[in-house]
Amino acid sequence: MIIGIDGSRAALAYHTGTETYSYQLILAMSRLATPDLRLRIYTHQIPQPTVWVQSPFVETRVIPFPRLWTHIRLAYEITINPPDVLFVPAHVLPLYCHVPAVVTVHDLGYLQHPETHTPFQRWYLNWTTKRHTRIANHIIADSFATKHDLIQYYHTNKSMIHVVHLGIDPNLKPVDDTNIRVKYGLKYDYVFYMGTLQPRKNLKRLIEAYAMISPHHAVNLVLAGKKGWLYYDLFEYVQQLNLDKRVIFLGFVPENDKAGLISGAIAYAFPSLHEGFGLPLLESYACGTPVLTSNVSSMPEIAGDASFIVDPYSVTAIASGLNCLILYPKLREKLVKKGFERVKYFSWDNTAQQIMAILTNTHQ
């Protein structure tokens, strides 16, 4: 049996949620490959060889194409050399797909919070997801929250949706690295966020909440990640609140620095409005950093009782949560211990085993 996998997002150099999901899952699935269960990974560019899959039972096919790679080049490839089943871990099946197919739908934030997506994103994601409910053999959802949304918005058959939680990089552990602080000029304790700077991450309310408590604490707010849609509003807002020296934008941060920055934070702030899963929760747990997160979408499902959970629409609630985490070391210690226990329930090997079972059953 040959399982074809869209590896285009995994091959990218910069990883956010979807890219991390694709990359870590492909690595874990490759460990399950055998002479009778082979993987064929399609990418649009040459992956970095030092961190890519190394297995005699995994083939990587680099098939470059300038535009519409999924709908033209990948569609053509699986037509002339069809795998037994196609797995797309990044939401979008090819326009022409004549083989059994399984797709992961991460979230439906574009419907619940349309203001956080561009008009084209809303149209494209709605069109592709609606298509999946008709042509995919199975849909994988990152959480029960996403499964609920698929049923509510698209009336998707419950039997075709499989909830498979994400895993966590086993190498992600607490790091005590003073060089990280020196490298990024972090002289004071800090609350940390890492991810794309975009509206649905609720960073404007986070900044406003921080402004409410900042006069009382020698703690900075550090935001790391690439610039997303409408990012410039955040920079202007920080200036309006006269927080230029208190809110620090690090920009893109290499993956090698992630553990050090998370571990060094007094708290991790993740008051997102909508997530399919919320991988930063697990990453912070693994690094021994207490987390503030939202009481909506998938966050409570993934957080368990290991995070300080707040109403993300209430600036006062976010500020109160930050204040508690900064002021009370015992609260932080309690959440760190619970986080270490919670993260044990998640692994990419478990995720890969569940998805491989779905794929093999699809072929039978």
pLDDT digit string, tens, across residues 331-356:
999 999 999 999 999 999 999 999 99
Residue with more model confidence, 171 or 360 = 360
Domain definitions of the chain by residue range = 2-167+347-363, 178-343
pLDDT score at 73 = 96
Tokens 């409005």 label which residue?
273
pLDDT score at 113 = 86
**Is pLDDT above 70 for 108?**
yes
Average pLDDT in the chain = 94
Is 178-343 the same fold as 2-167+347-363? yes
Q: What are 28-77's pLDDT values in tens digits?
A: 999 999 999 999 999 999 887 667 888 999 999 999 998 899 999 999 99
pLDDT score at 50 = 62
Confidence bin at 227 (pLDDT 50/70/90): confident
pLDDT score at 230 = 63
The separation between CA 216 and the C-alpha centre of its own chain, rounded to angstroms, equals 33
Q: What are 308-320's pLDDT values in tens digits?
A: 999 999 999 999 9
pLDDT score at 47 = 85
Q: According to the CATH classification, is domain 2-167+347-363 in 3.40.1440.10?
A: no
What is the CATH number that goes with domain 178-343? Answer: 3.40.50.2000
pLDDT score at 190 = 98
**Is pLDDT above 90 for 15?**
no
